[in-house]
Structures are given as C-alpha cells and as structure tokens.
Amino acid sequence: MKKVLMDCVNSNKTRIKDVDNKLAATDNYVSRYLPFNMFCQAIECCKIIQKNLNADRDLRDRIENYEKFKMSSLYDIILADDGRAPKMFKKD
C-alpha cells in the first residue's frame, strides 16, 4: 500500500510540474509575444482605416516612424527572451 501511495504521489508531482511548465510558457507568451502580435494587428487596422494615408505624407511618416520605434522595442523584448518572463500582470 505504501508503494502504491508513493507512486500516486510521484505521478501527481509530475503532473503538477507539467502544469507549472505550461503555465510559465503561457505567462511568457502573454508578457512577451502577445503585445507584439497585438501591435502588428493594430498598425494594420490603422493603415486600412486611415483612408488618406497615401495622400498625407506627414501622417504616413509619423505612423511609420512610430511603427519602427515600437517594433524595435518589441523585437528587443523578444530577442531577450529566456523563457522566464517577468510577471507584469496579476492572476487570481
């Protein structure tokens, strides 16, 4: 009975470790990769919605400059990814 109980405990420990690893991977995605994906989608929407983007060179230049600046900082975050993202949000 003791052996069966220890096997069950070890099995549960393995499952818990697996869940912790998946949770860490999800946290890493949410803190590092999701902002990049959301920014790319937001910029695409802005370019589609803004009808006079091609006509207004100043507006187009400002959007492109902001896009370059923000993409550079988001790339730096992704390039520095070591799989242990800082917790930038609270979980209940």
Spell out the alpha helix ranges (H) of the chain.
Answer: 2-28, 34-49, 57-79
Which residue did the predictor score with more confidence, 30 or 91?
Answer: 30
Does pLDDT of 90 surpass 80? no
16 compared with 52, residue with greater pLDDT: 16
pLDDT single digits (tens) 39-60: 999 988 888 887 777 778 888 8
| Residue 48: predicted pLDDT | 82
Q: Which of 6-10, 28-32, 80-84 has the lowest mean pLDDT?
A: 80-84
Cβ-based neighbours of 63, under 8 Å, separated by 6 or more: 43, 46, 47, 50, 53
DSSP state of 52: T
Q: How many Cβ atoms sit within 10 Å of the Cβ of residue 32? A: 19
State the average pLDDT for the chain.
Answer: 84
| Boundaries of every domain in the chain | 2-79
69 vs 53, residue with greater confidence: 69
pLDDT of residue 33 exceeding 70, the answer is: yes
